[in-house]
Structure 1
Amino acid sequence: MPSALHPLTSLTAAGCTAVITTAAGNWPLSLAVALAAAVLAVRAGVGRRVLAAAAAVLLPLGLSLLMLHGLFFPEGRTVLAAWGPARVTAEGLNFALEAGTRTGACVLVLLLFSFTVSAPDLVAALAARGLPPQFGFVLAAALTLLPALSGRLESIRAAQEARGLVLGGGVLSRFVGARLQMLPLVLGLIEDSGSRAQALEARGFGGPGPRTSYREVADPPVQRRLRAVLLLLAAAAVAVRIGAAWPAAWPA
């Protein structure tokens, strides 16, 4: 997100984009949103880190979607290939494509926000609006962890390769290697989150009582109106999605 945006504007834009993309359920729109987020990340100077973090999340997810829905989609009727109980169907591949692009768009948008927003400005903006300090405290802890995600993944891969794990070869070998990397990555993030939570708590993030902020974040009126418009668009997208699905919920 551009640095000129207020932190709450960036947060609203990222959240509403994810909501609208999910409600639309249209893979060309999801792909366009993902490409736009990647271009903005490159222009903001965080393209490599955003794409590396997105790849760590989306590659295992994409492979699992392809294997689960591409080969074993129960509603599939148009069979393209079959191997015993496994059937590649056009419907399954289409479902995997829609789910993968939709998830990819949401992940890229949220990663773009987390890599470009100023955590101190965001916490100050939330505190200025009277939100509970625990909310800003948890959000600040999460934002301090995400920028180190790609570097941590590289360290895990280097350590595993030093112990003899070979990540080359075919798709199956790479899938197994990615799965082996995810476990230490998630466990390490949980441990770091707890350590940073304790450090932030010791510095008074969770303390009760009145608060004085020494950080002022300008919030232009035009950005406040923009946030209202984005929230209305997200609510309208959800309402349209619910309205379109409502007749199908009734028995024939």
Structure 2
Amino acid sequence: MTASPAGRTAACTRRTKFNPLTWLAAAGSTAAITTAAASWQLSVAVVAACLGLSLAGGTARRVVPAAAAVLVPLGLSLLVLHGLFFPEGRTVLAEWGPSRVTAEGLEFAGQRILQLAAVVMALLLFSFSVNVPDLVAALSARGVQGRFAFVLASTLTLLPAIAARAQRIRQAQESRGLVVTRSRVSRAGAFRLQAVPLVLSLIEDAGTRAAALEARGLSSTGPRTSYREVPDSSLQRTARAVLVLLAVAAVVLRLVQAGSGG
């Protein structure tokens, strides 16, 4: 089921009312606060909120596959690492030689996976929702020029293609006879066969996009004249300042708690 053209137009209209820096501050502060809080309840709430916003904005069909492509391999690695080799684990559920599956290890891995999912979903929602030309114009209007805007624009224009490209690589490998069974060895081999061409193609694509953006003067540090007006308001500027302060406060509080052994 896809959103109607009227629905997509309404979603785009709602997004244009917000400055891209507001979306950036919201995504960055959400990632920082979720990481600092290390609370699975907060992580679940952030994931649910991101799913709801992506459904409302019509980007769920791109955000969810991209998040799955990132979270599935990382989640499996966290389960193996902490589920089998968690030094603080005391409640042993299963044991194979030096490897032990502990309840504490699985709980720790689950919390880290939820925390990672919240961060990934927040950043992907931003990358699939933000208007890149508006973001670059907003950054340039505030004196953020040169390499930072150049790298940011290159990255954001590349992110939406990752999930589709990974799917195409998987289909191409399967057409050449790749068979993935339930064994860990088979899955690890299949992941390697798909990850290597994906990473190489992304590097090549990033170089091509970077050359195109640089040819258009995006990496120049000289004076600029922007013909693109990006809406902003004092309320949004205040909201961005509050979000940044909340993120900094959450990180500082976490560092203080870690230093005091809390």
TM-score with structure 2 setting the length = 0.90
Deviations 1:104-129 (A, max 9, x none): 11011000000000000000000000
How many angstroms apart in 2 are the aligned matches of 1:177 and 1:39? 32
Q: Which of the numbers 2, 12, 22 marks the counterpart of 1:9?
A: 22
Alpha-carbon RMSD across the aligned residues, in angstroms, is 1.6
Q: CA deviation at 1:156?
A: 0.4
Aligned residue in 1 for 2:99: 86
**Aligned twin of 1:30:** 43
The 3-state SS of whatever aligns with 1:32 is helix
Q: Which of 117, 121, 144 matches 2:157?
A: 144
The SS at the match of 1:10 is helix
1:220 is aligned to 2:244: no
Amino acid at match of 1:107: V
Instruction: Name which of 93, 105, 124 aligns with 2:118.
Output: 105
Alignment gaps of 5+ in structure 1: none
Residue by residue over 1:179-216, the C-alpha shift from the partner in whole angstroms, topping out at 9 and shown as x without a partner, is: 43222111111111111101111111122321110101
User: Hey, which bits of structure 1, 4+ residues long, moved more than 3 A?
Assistant: 173-176
The equivalences for 1:223-242 within 5 A come to 223-242=236-255
Match of 2:210 in 1: 197
Give, in angstroms, the shift of residue 54 of structure 1.
Answer: 0.7
Shift in Å, 1:171: 6.0
Match of 1:47 among 57, 60, 63: 60
Query: 1:80: Cα distance to partner?
Result: 1.4
User: 2:138 aligns to what SS in structure 1?
Assistant: helix
Corresponding position: 1:18 with 2:31: yes
Q: Identity percentage over the alignment?
A: 60
Aligned-partner Cα distance in 2 for 1:28–1:171: 33
**Corresponding residue for 2:168?**
155
Measure the CA separation in 1 of the matches of 2:41 and 2:194: 31
Q: Where in structure 2 are there 5+ consecutive unaligned residues? A: 1-10
Q: 8 Å contact 1:60–1:175 — kept in the other structure?
A: no
| Kept in 2: contact 1:8–1:122 (CA 8 A) | yes
CA contact (8 A) 1:27 1:102 kept: yes
Aligned to 1:245: 258
Whole-angstrom distance in 2 between the partners of 1:40 and 1:232: 24
Alignment of 1:108-119 (within 5 A): 108-119=121-132
Q: Which amino acid aligns with 1:92?
A: G
Q: Deviations over 1:42-91 (max 9, x none)?
A: 11111011111111111001111111110111121121111111101111
